[in-house]
């Protein structure tokens, strides 16, 4: 009996089918691509960690710079006041 290439024969109906659009073999127990998001979730988690670390480092650097500037300004003001009152 001649089978059309578009319709599987009953013998191959339960075997893995070849998807001609995506060129992948499709089986019944394969995980759909929409549900298999483990690598993307891991990448997003890593990206979020990097963003949080960068933001924390930037905030700490800004706070340290502000504290140093305030301390320098206070020291300069105190020195100027002492010099003015002493002289």
Domain ranges of the chain: 41-87
Instruction: Look up residue 50 and give its two tokens.
Output: 């990097």
Distance of CA 41 to the CA centre of its chain: 8
pLDDT given for residue 75 in this prediction: 97
Look-up of token digits 């089978």: 3
State which residues of the chain have pLDDT below 70. 1-45
**pLDDT, tens digit, 9 for 90 and up, residues 54-69:** 999 999 999 999 999 9
> Which two structure tokens, joined as six digits, stand for 32?
């759909």
């Amino acid at each position: 009996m001649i089978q059309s290439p578009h319709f599987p024969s009953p013998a191959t109906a339960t075997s893995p089918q070849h998807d001609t659009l995506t060129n992948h073999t499709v089986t019944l127990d394969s995980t759909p691509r929409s549900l298999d998001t483990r690598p993307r979730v891991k990448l997003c988690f890593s990206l979020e960690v990097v963003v949080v670390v960068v933001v924390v480092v930037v905030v700490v650097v800004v706070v340290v710079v502000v504290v140093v500037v305030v301390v320098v300004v206070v020291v300069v003001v105190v020195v100027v006041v002492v010099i003015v009152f002493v002289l």
